[in-house]
Amino acid sequence: MTIIHPVLLCGGAGTRLWPLSRQSFPKQFARLLGDESLFQAAARRLSGAGYAAPVVVTVNDFRFIVIEQLAAMNQVAGSILIEPEGRNTAPAVLAAALTLAQQDPAALMLVAPSDHVIPDSAAFRDAVQAAAARAQAGDLVTFGITPNRAETGYGYLELAAGADAGAAAPQPLARFIEKPDAARAAEMVAAGTYLWNAGIFLFRADTLIEAFRQHAPKILTAVDKSVSGAARDLSFCRLDPGTWAKAPAISIDYAIMEKASNLAVMPYAAGWSDLGSWDSVWKESGPDSAGNVCSDHATAIDCTDSLLRSESGRVELVGIGLSDIIAIATDDAVLVAHKSESQRVKEAVTALKARGAAQADQFPKDHRPWGWFESLVVGTRFQVKRIVVKPGAALSLQSHHHRAEHWIVVEGTAKVTVGDTVQLVTENQSVYIPLGAVHRMENPGKVPMVLIEVQTGSYLGEDDIIRYEDVYARGQGAKG
């Protein structure tokens, strides 16, 4: 059996599904459909017989989220590559190819975004196997989705003359086409010789590297040096930042696919969505007989064709007499829009950033390798947080220049170090951390430990931290 090496791209920080997707925790890690995140669904879809452990390409802030979400489904990554900065998909995919080629130059790699929805996993794996021989023979295979509407939000693939858009095998590809206007999209769908560009690719590692050598040598030079100069950090591979920055920021479509001659497209008609708008979420969620989709803590009264979604048990969302409306509520933000305007959510994020609103990028809940915390109350000289520490996890040995802290354990037991004193603090007990004191918090138990932290001081930012020891090797700074 042909072994496929999945390459999962999950470094993006999309804003089209704000307020549920934000820079600090983007949509690929959110549970938008079902009990798994989109990233977990992608990892599960590309696993099992015939699939190697995935190569994951992500950024520094998401590295522990990747490990945690894979561990929750009893998976581990073959490699986790950390991009020093986002340079679009061409450098990211090439870095994965060079990494795989170190062990097997002919490794067959399947590149897939981690935030897409493909409901029929078996059908997709069948399509991958159907395309494998063509990729092994030296072609660059892209996957094209059979269009069911005149979509202006996707790029298109034009089939070569004589190709069959409904074939169960790769077909010759004429060219890539940019996102069209509505009239042109309608013409292409009616012609029946165009497919949506899914951004999913199958090829040998050495085939792709050779394509970069021919068509994008500057990218190859920079990324090859970055991979060669990469540093190991726990289970991560940190690409060298100096040489990585010299790679042009460009998509793999522009850098390679639009220039290569050894192209083929694998048609796929069993269902796909890039989940690029709340309108797409509404469609993929399975509206009821009235056309409504309601989450827990959301109620529709005399509504039609609407998505009502509350992400908080503390916020009950009620719609009355609505039609074609998107309403999304979180603990700290609410979005209300007509479904036809759902592609404009980025404008809202831009407006919030211009006002300096934290909600544009950050969630109240901040994920860390040891667990998470959320701000409950923030004042000018105080802040109250809820902190959850996973069993066996420990925060870094640290101190603060500008704040003191008071910890009250409400669930579980904390092992607390303050200076030379180490003590166990159980439920309903508390401990005071003076300003400047070197301290650490650990969870020695087998259940999550929850505490309330009260901070007081002149500056309460997360970057007021000096780390002396850290099992997660994060260095200095808010997240390291």
Cα–Cα distance, 24 to 30 (Å, whole number):
11
Among residues 223, 329, 214, 298, the alpha carbon closest in space to that of 262 is found at 214
Among residues 343, 434, 323, 444, the alpha carbon closest in space to that of 17 is found at 343
User: Is residue 234's pLDDT more than 90?
Assistant: no
What was the pLDDT predicted at 393? 93
Q: What is the mean pLDDT of residues 138-153?
A: 93
User: What is the second-level CATH architecture of the domain 365-469?
Assistant: Sandwich (2.60)
**Rounded to 5°, angle at Cα 44 from 39 and 50:** 130
Instruction: Check if the beta carbon of residue 105 is closer than 8 Å to that of residue 97.
Output: no
Structure tokens at 459: 């500056």
Q: What is the mean pLDDT of residues 379-397?
A: 94
Describe the chain by its helix, strand, coil percentages, rounded to 5. 25, 35, 40
Structure tokens at 474: 């994060």
For the chain, report the end-to-end CA distance as a whole number of angstroms. 42
Cα–Cα distance, 291 to 189 (Å, whole number):
25
Helices 89-101 and 205-215, axial angle in degrees (round to 10): 130
Cα–Cα distance, 462 to 209 (Å, whole number):
41
Q: What is the pTM of this model?
A: 0.90
Cα–Cα distance, 52 to 77 (Å, whole number):
9
So where are the chain's domains?
A: 4-268, 278-354, 365-469
Structure tokens at 328: 């999304």
DSSP letters along 274-328, please? ---SHHHHHHHT---TTS-EE-TTEEEES-BS-EEEE--TT--EEEES-BSEEEE
Q: Please confirm whether the linkage preceding 19 is cis (ω < 30° from 0).
A: yes
Q: Write the pLDDT tens digit of every residue in 179-195.
A: 888 899 999 999 999 99
Structure tokens at 241: 């930042």
Confidence of residue 479 (pLDDT cuts 50, 70, 90): low
Instruction: Check if the beta carbon of residue 399 is closer than 8 Å to that of residue 435.
Output: no
Q: Write the pLDDT tens digit of every residue in 394-416.
A: 999 999 999 999 999 999 999 99
What was the pLDDT predicted at 477? 63
Cα–Cα distance, 292 to 282 (Å, whole number):
8
| Residues whose CB falls within 8 Å of the CB of residue 424, separated by 6 or more in sequence, listed in order | 413, 414, 415, 416, 444
What was the pLDDT predicted at 233? 84
| Residues whose CB falls within 8 Å of the CB of residue 21, separated by 6 or more in sequence, listed in order | 14, 15, 27, 30
Structure tokens at 335: 């979005």
CATH of 4-268, one of 3.30.365.10, 3.30.160.40, 3.90.550.10, 3.40.50.2000: 3.90.550.10
Cα–Cα distance, 410 to 406 (Å, whole number):
13
Mean residue pLDDT across the chain: 94
4-268 and 365-469 share one CATH topology?
Answer: no
Distance from chain centroid for Cα 110: 17
Q: Write the pLDDT tens digit of every residue in 55-93.
A: 999 999 899 999 999 999 999 999 999 999 999 999 999
Q: 10 Å Cβ neighbour count for 334?
A: 13
Q: CB-hemisphere CA count at 13 Å for 32? A: 35
Q: 10 Å Cβ neighbour count for 16?
A: 20
Cα–Cα distance, 43 to 6 (Å, whole number):
8
Instruction: Check if the beta carbon of residue 10 is closer than 8 Å to that of residue 112.
Output: no
Confidence of residue 473 (pLDDT cuts 50, 70, 90): confident
Instruction: Check if the beta carbon of residue 152 is closer than 8 Å to that of residue 132.
Output: no
Rg from Cα positions in the chain: 24
Q: CB-hemisphere CA count at 13 Å for 5? A: 23
Among residues 457, 475, 456, the alpha carbon closest in space to that of 465 is found at 475
Q: Write the pLDDT tens digit of every residue in 202-222.
A: 999 999 999 999 999 999 999
Among residues 4, 61, 77, the alpha carbon closest in space to that of 29 is found at 61
Q: Where are the alpha helices (DSSP H) in 192-250?
A: 205-215, 217-228, 241-244
Q: Which residue has the higher pLDDT, 463 or 345?
A: 345
Cα–Cα distance, 456 to 407 (Å, whole number):
12
Instruction: Check if the beta carbon of residue 275 is closer than 8 Å to that of residue 32.
Output: yes
Mean pLDDT check: name the lowest of 165-169, 221-225, 321-325: 165-169
Cα–Cα distance, 440 to 444 (Å, whole number):
12
Residue 71, burial from CB neighbour count under 10 angstroms (0-12, 13-18, 19+): exposed
| Residues whose CB falls within 8 Å of the CB of residue 42, separated by 6 or more in sequence, listed in order | 8, 28, 112, 113, 114, 115, 116
User: Is residue 277's pLDDT more than 70?
Assistant: yes
Cα–Cα distance, 27 to 40 (Å, whole number):
12
Confidence of residue 480 (pLDDT cuts 50, 70, 90): very low
What was the pLDDT predicted at 75? 95
> What is the greatest pairwise CA distance in the chain?
78
